Amino acid sequence: MIQGLIGRGGYGQIYYGSDATFPEDVVIKIEPIVRNGRTGKRMLLEQKILYRLQGRPHVPIMCASGHTEHLNFIVMQLLGPNIGDLKKRSPARRLGPTTVARIMIQGIAALRDVHSLGYIHRDVKPANMCFGITQNTRHVLKLVDYGMVRRYKNPDGTRRKARHRPGFRGTLRYSSARVHDGKEQVPSDDFVSMAYSGAELLLVNLPWKLVCVEDIKQAKLDFHAPNSPFLLLTGPYFSVFCGAIFSLRSDDEPDHSSLQALLSEMTGGKSLREAYDWEENYREACGSEDY
């Protein structure tokens, strides 16, 4: 039963409501089958990917999906505010380092689930990361929005041949330099987006936020330099983590566990299930001058 409108996304409407077969509140995403004279396929892809990912801890539970005569729809568990919105609520306009480290560790686990099936997400960003709202899920990160996912491996495990002009997919602020160059996206590009997301949570803004579009790629490459003042501001642990990601080649299969391990010291000994910054009135973010 639909109870109200949450908002309008890039390809349809998002409502909240209830489902008699599911114990939690749900989100209902709706996409017109025909939009502006074109057949909508994005939600069909998301339905397929979510179905394959069910049972993974960092993927939203999908309660139902299908279509009517005019609409495609997905019903899934209702989640809390996205990480970008939680950051905006902080008086310091950022999140504390132990919180960011644990978000990244869980985000890497989510990417592992996607990559292990031979897919890449292509739109990793704070707005696509949420925590659950129940006692059991409020400390479990969920990666959302699978409408831009693409298969990068063939069924036999080999890499698909890169297209000559794949077209841009993603969000420019978080896209890798390779994407600026029009290259086919690979797992390492998801990780670059994850690194940029974490840096934004720590720094308030990314250094290219106000840069004109033509100069964004160079600003990103400047950020990659080991002596970049902005990168150093993220702190010793996170800058090493970023360095490992920025050194990945396009044909590399990232070692998810090793990248998680680089952030272990940054957690300050806090477990993934301990309170996050927004649960403690952003005390860590407001009290942290150095990382």
Q: List residues forming the annotated binding site for ATP.
A: 29
Is 123 labeled as catalytic in the residue annotation? yes
59 Cβ contact list (under 8 Å, min separation 6): 50, 53, 110, 113, 142, 143
Q: What is the largest CA-CA distance in the chain?
A: 57
Helix axes 97-116 and 42-53, enclosed angle (nearest 10):
100
Which tokens go with 134? 């129940």
**Polymer length in residues for the chain:** 291
DSSP 208-264: TTTS-HHHHHHHHHHHHSTT-HHHHHT-HHHHHHHHHHHT--TT----HHHHHHTTT
Q: Which of 79, 127, 14 is nearest to 5 (CA)?
A: 14
Of the residues 113, 123, 190, 277, only one is catalytic, namely: 123
Query: Which residue do the tokens 């008699």 mark?
Result: 20
120 with 185: CB under 8 angstroms?
Answer: yes
DSSP 188-220: HHHHHHHHHHHHHHHHSS-TTTTS-HHHHHHHH
DSSP state of 132: -
**Annotated binding-site members:** 29
Q: Show which residues are catalytic.
A: 123
